[in-house]
């Protein structure tokens, strides 16, 4: 009997130096798909994903830039999605974080193969050229991944400080993490306000703009001007968006999907936490499968499971114990878990 699964797609910061060679390592059989992405890139005078993935050394300046990271992650993640064993898993829904929304659209068939890379590459280019402000991460939770009122209060105070000095917003609810964003003045005030936590937070994200805030309204306008609604279709697999709303094959207003994708999704908070809550409570999957590259979303997903005491989880230790023998969350970016999905 097949296991039901919700597939989750990663965001921008997931192709790091350890992922270099991901396509050649895991997807030598996806030559036609990769060639299609390369063709689009070359026609638009951009370096091919094959060349980027096959580079001898990882360059943060090159590989982590929006214009290159976005199509790299798209290609790796969609190739992973195609590799999932459909004889063992019934994919009942798909969702993602930030950039992962565009990947979700492509995986579910709401964007065709040409439309998928066109949207991802265009938005990566717009963010590279038009992005303003920055992002930082700070935990809602303590070191054992339990809710922390002290941290939540610190986040609220930081947002107030950022809004006093400039502009500051909650950009993404990322499981047990808050991704905060703002202009330069707002970012500086938030960083100054937040106390040190776990010897690493607040952590400023390099090469990230103030995604999912009103500061990117001009990017939303350019996206609408550049990308037409004719790229969009009703999905063949249910999709969970960054508000927790579900889009299904028989109940999708395609124009509303287009408006959400380049409107609300760009300028308002992306609630990845809510999408995971909806995934587990509405679809009750046997497994969650996290597509690669990387596996950094594993912790935020686990933190959200703990918050809802899903499967009886109440701590980081509980989650680690569950994952040892029969993991509920299968991360395809990890060799020890990848084999369980393909």
Q: What is the DSSP string of 226-270?
A: HS-GGGB---SS-EE-TTS-EE-TTS--HHHHHHHHHTHHHHS-E
Question: What's the pTM?
Answer: 0.97
CATH 3.30.70, domain 134-208, yes or no: yes
Q: Which of 3.40.50.150, 3.30.1330.10, 3.40.50.20, 3.40.366.10 is the CATH number of 3-130+216-338?
A: 3.40.366.10
CATH 3.40.366.10 location in the chain: 3-130+216-338
pLDDT recorded at residue 208? 92
Coil, helix or strand for 30? Answer: coil
> What are the structure tokens assigned to 93, written together?
């829904």
Q: Give average pLDDT by consecutive 10-residue segment, the chain, 342 residues.
A: 96 92 96 95 95 95 92 97 98 98 98 95 94 96 95 98 98 98 98 95 93 98 98 98 97 97 98 98 98 96 97 96 94 96 96
Q: How many CA atoms lie within 13 A of 126 on its CB side?
A: 23
How many other β-carbons are positioned within 10 Å of the β-carbon of residue 257? Answer: 21
Sheet-wide strand order for 329-331: 246-247, 239-240, 89-96, 3-9, 287-290, 329-331
CATH 3.30.70 location in the chain: 134-208
pLDDT recorded at residue 207? 87
CA–CA gap between residue 189 and residue 186 (Å, rounded):
5
> What are the structure tokens assigned to 273, written together?
């936490």
Q: Are 101 and 241 in contact (CB under 8 A)?
A: yes
């Amino acid at each position: 009997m097949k296991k039901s699964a919700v597939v989750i797609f990663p965001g921008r910061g997931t192709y790091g130096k350890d992922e270099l060679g991901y396509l050649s390592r895991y997807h030598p059989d996806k030559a036609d798909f990769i060639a299609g992405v390369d063709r689009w890139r070359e026609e638009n005078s951009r370096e091919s994903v094959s060349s980027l993935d096959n580079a001898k050394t990882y360059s943060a300046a090159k590989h982590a830039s929006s214009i290159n990271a976005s199509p790299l992650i798209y290609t790796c993640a969609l190739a992973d999605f195609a590799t999932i064993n459909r004889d063992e898993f019934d994919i009942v829904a798909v969702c993602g974080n930030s950039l992962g929304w565009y990947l979700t659209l492509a995986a579910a068939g709401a964007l065709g193969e040409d439309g998928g890379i066109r949207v991802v590459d265009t938005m990566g280019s717009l963010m590279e050229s038009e992005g303003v402000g920055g992002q930082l991460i700070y935990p809602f939770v303590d070191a054992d991944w339990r809710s922390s009122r002290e941290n939540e209060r610190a986040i609220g105070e930081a947002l107030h400080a950022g809004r006093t000095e400039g502009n500051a917003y909650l950009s993404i609810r990322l499981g047990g993490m808050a991704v905060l964003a703002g202009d330069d003045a707002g970012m500086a005030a938030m960083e100054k306000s937040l106390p040190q936590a776990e010897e690493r937070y607040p952590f400023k994200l390099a090469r990230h703009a103030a995604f999912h805030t009103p500061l990117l309204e001009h990017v939303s306008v350019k996206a609408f001007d550049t990308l037409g609604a004719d790229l969009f279709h009703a999905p063949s697999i249910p999709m969970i968006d960054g508000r927790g709303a579900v889009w299904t094959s028989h109940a999708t207003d395609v124009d509303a999907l287009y408006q959400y994708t380049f409107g609300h999704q760009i300028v308002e908070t992306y609630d990845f936490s809510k999408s995971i809550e909806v995934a587990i409570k509405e679809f009750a999957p046997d497994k969650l499968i996290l597509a690669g590259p990387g596996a950094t979303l594993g912790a935020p997903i686990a933190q959200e499971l703990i918050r809802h005491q899903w499967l009886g989880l109440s701590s980081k230790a509980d989650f680690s114990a569950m994952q040892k023998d029969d993991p509920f969350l299968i991360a395809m970016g990890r060799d020890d878990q990848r084999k369980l999905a393909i």
